[in-house]
Structure 1
Amino acid sequence: MPILYECEYRGRRYAGLGLPKPGEPVLLYPVSDGQVRAAVLAGRGLQALLQSVTSGRETVTVAGDDPEIHYLPPLLPSGSGNSLITGFMGTHRSKYPAPPAPDEEFRAPNWLIKGNGSWLETNGGPLNVTASAVALLEEPEVALVFVNDESGAPHYAGYTFANDLNDIGLHLQNPWGWTPYAKLCDTSMTPWLFLGEPPRTVTGQIIIERGGAAAWKGDFTCGADSIFQRVPDMVNHLFSFPGLRRAGLVSYVLLGSDKASWHAGFRIADGDRITFDLASHGVVLSNEVRYAPVVEATASAGFTAWGSSES
């Protein structure tokens, strides 16, 4: 399956094809911000999309591990907040008492806004969470990538993978009210845009390291075959809301996750490294968890001190 990615290198934006291989150079094609998104919206097919990125341009070849390469989440706009991370909850079949009947009526799963696309981290970046977190849970998920045209119609571009890190301990204290707080953890995403239909099956392993050694391991499966609902129904229902159909918006839609380390009794700590080895697709997503200190809001000049009881 063709794979497309974008990166920044020495102040310029580039695109590349395929998965970089360890120790081998990568061939980069200069692109402008929005060029790849425009090619997706043109809708002229896969070959036209690839040609629009690679033809008629001077290329640069650099080492794949060059520290000056900064890989970007797929189609991420630069200098703009016109991108959104959202996700579904409670989608996996393991969380339901029985498999769905072929003619079962669609019932939309819970959904939430995870954050602005500029909050995304890619491979190697830190995942910041509040130091007051109760109990963290990593979640390996398929992320569908959409971009809206000028009329607001969403166009599917492809898929990638994400870690929807969240505070499941806080969520369980008040599932009906505190889940949005629990989801205010950084999200990481692979930069590789797989140019195909949403995957039926994704398999891999979660490795959590502490002090440089593996502290917990577990296998995982995700993808359409693991989900109770039908993915097209989920997507069509989501984009029935006009708020998600703003012109030019890039949407990263997370399809949900199965049980993971927390359910096995493991507790993630500050400094742990979470790695998803997505063996079925030949990619790895690895990030270190960092606890950020709680910072209180303060008043700006000309206002009574924040929190003061003075009138």
Structure 2
Amino acid sequence: MTVLYEGTHDGERYVGFGTPEDATAEGATLTLYPLGDLDLRAEVLAADGDSAALTAALAAGREPRSIPADEVSFRPPLLPDAIGDALVSGFMQTHNVKVDASTQSQPNWFFKGLGDTLKLSGERLRAPRGAVALTEEAEIVLVYVTDEGGTPQYAGYTFGNDLTDIGRFKRHAGHLSYAKLCDAGVAPWLFLGTPPSQVTGQVAIERGAEEVWRGTFTTGTKALHYGLRDMMSELFSYEGLSHPGRVHYVYIGADRASFHDGFTIADQDRIEIHFATHGVTLTHTVDWR
């Protein structure tokens, strides 16, 4: 599986390839290729899912540099420079464990924000001051780049934390749109392949120096009640979403979270989500004020 990531060092943009473990290991040094004036999103579209061709195109004629990982500022995958060219959204109650008599033929879709909603590991997740009860949601995130003809093209997947005001939604199901207007955690690694059938991992929540909740999760296409292709084709049938050049980050739903165990996240709690099957860890502190 090819994994692509982008970052900046001394004001220059670079792209690299490798596993998340390689990039996050203590003392890691990365082999990076300068992007210069290259349009990374256009190159991803041109490769049309061919990881080998994309790797070759990004490395061609560019002298690689070895740079310590702790000197690189990573970026969300394929994030456009203009905040408004990125749209963060998702689906709710998609997993088999959440199916009940009220389950609809198509899951609820929600808008979460623009590009500045996405926060990398170590950054803070903002929640509205009037939030009722917050919960983490460990999720797969699909990344689409809209081509010149206005068709969103699948680029790959990454992982995220869809911080949600679950309390507001439970109080009034019609307030889903408000419940989702919190920041979203996202990993910088773009996995260039089909979405995984199964992802397992653990969540730990700390308050001060004390761990106050721990749990496990299972996600992936096998865990979904809905067909992923049907979900995405329905979403992108709405032409208003498909402006050429726009990048979509689509959170496809979560397994049970801490809220379902009777736990509520507090201001300044620290959430660590470890996607064990893929070597990805996201850590965020919640700002709820």
Calculate the TM-score normalised by the size of structure 2. 0.94
Specify which of 268, 272, 276 is matched with residue 275 of structure 1. Answer: 272
Q: Please state if 1:93 is matched with 2:96.
A: yes
Tell me how far apart the structure 2 counterparts of residues 150 and 70 of structure 1 sit (CA, whole Å).
29
In the other structure, the counterpart of 2:173 is 175
Q: Deviations over 1:208-251 (max 9, x none)?
A: 01112211100001110111001011111111110121111100
How far apart are 1:55 and its partner, in Å? 2.1
In the other structure, the counterpart of 2:39 is 35
Q: Please state if 1:139 is matched with 2:142.
A: no
Tell me how far apart the structure 1 counterparts of residues 184 and 149 of structure 2 sit (CA, whole Å).
29
Tell me how far apart the structure 1 counterparts of residues 266 and 149 of structure 2 sit (CA, whole Å).
45
In the other structure, the counterpart of 2:16 is 16
Asked whether the 8 Å contact 2:274–2:282 carries over to 1, the reply is yes
Task: Determine which structure has the larger helix proportion and give its number.
Answer: 2
Q: Where does 1:99-138 land on structure 2 (aligned, <5 Å)?
A: 107-138=105-136
Tell me how far apart the structure 2 counterparts of residues 3 and 55 of structure 1 sit (CA, whole Å).
18
Q: Deviations over 1:250-289 (max 9, x none)?
A: 0011101121101101111111110111110011011010
Count of residues in Structure 1 that have an aligned counterpart in Structure 2: 283
Identity of aligned residues (%): 46
Tell me how far apart the structure 1 counterparts of residues 219 and 36 of structure 2 sit (CA, whole Å).
34
Unpaired segments of 5 or more residues in structure 2?
none
Q: Which amino acid aligns with 1:149?
A: D
Q: Please state if 1:76 is matched with 2:79.
A: yes
Tell me how far apart the structure 2 counterparts of residues 34 and 291 of structure 1 sit (CA, whole Å).
39
Q: Where does 1:1-311 land on structure 2 (aligned, <5 Å)?
A: 1-18=1-18, 19=20, 20=23, 21-32=25-36, 35-44=39-48, 45-66=50-71, 69-97=72-100, 107-176=105-174, 178-292=175-289
Q: Which amino acid aligns with 1:39?
A: E
Q: Which amino acid aligns with 1:201?
A: Q
Equivalent residue of 2:67, what SS?
strand
Tell me how far apart the structure 1 counterparts of residues 262 and 36 of structure 2 sit (CA, whole Å).
47
Equivalent residue of 1:145, what SS?
strand
How far apart are 1:80 and its partner, in Å? 4.2
Tell me how far apart the structure 1 counterparts of residues 51 and 16 of structure 2 sit (CA, whole Å).
15
Q: Comparing 166-175 with 189-198, which one deviates more in the overlay? A: 166-175
Q: Deviations over 1:29-80 (max 9, x none)?
A: 11147622111111352111111212211232221122xx221111001134
Equivalent residue of 1:65, what SS?
helix
Asked whether the 8 Å contact 1:34–1:77 carries over to 2, the reply is no
Unpaired segments of 5 or more residues in structure 1?
101-105, 293-311
Sort the Cα spacing of 1:33 and 1:73 in 2 relative to 1 into closer, same or farther, 3 A.
farther
Equivalent residue of 2:119, what SS?
coil
Tell me how far apart the structure 1 counterparts of residues 81 and 216 of structure 2 sit (CA, whole Å).
35
Tell me how far apart the structure 1 counterparts of residues 35 and 68 of structure 2 sit (CA, whole Å).
19
Asked whether the 8 Å contact 1:13–1:33 carries over to 2, the reply is no
How far apart are 1:132 and its partner, in Å? 2.4
Equivalent residue of 2:41, what SS?
helix
Asked whether the 8 Å contact 1:40–1:155 carries over to 2, the reply is no
Q: Which amino acid aligns with 1:275?
A: E
Tell me how far apart the structure 1 counterparts of residues 183 and 145 of structure 2 sit (CA, whole Å).
22
Tell me how far apart the structure 1 counterparts of residues 130 and 245 of structure 2 sit (CA, whole Å).
36
Tell me how far apart the structure 1 counterparts of residues 81 and 38 of structure 2 sit (CA, whole Å).
9
Equivalent residue of 2:73, what SS?
strand
Tell me how far apart the structure 1 counterparts of residues 36 and 276 of structure 2 sit (CA, whole Å).
32
Equivalent residue of 1:275, what SS?
strand
Equivalent residue of 2:173, what SS?
coil
| Larger-Rg structure | 1
Asked whether the 8 Å contact 2:83–2:115 carries over to 1, the reply is no
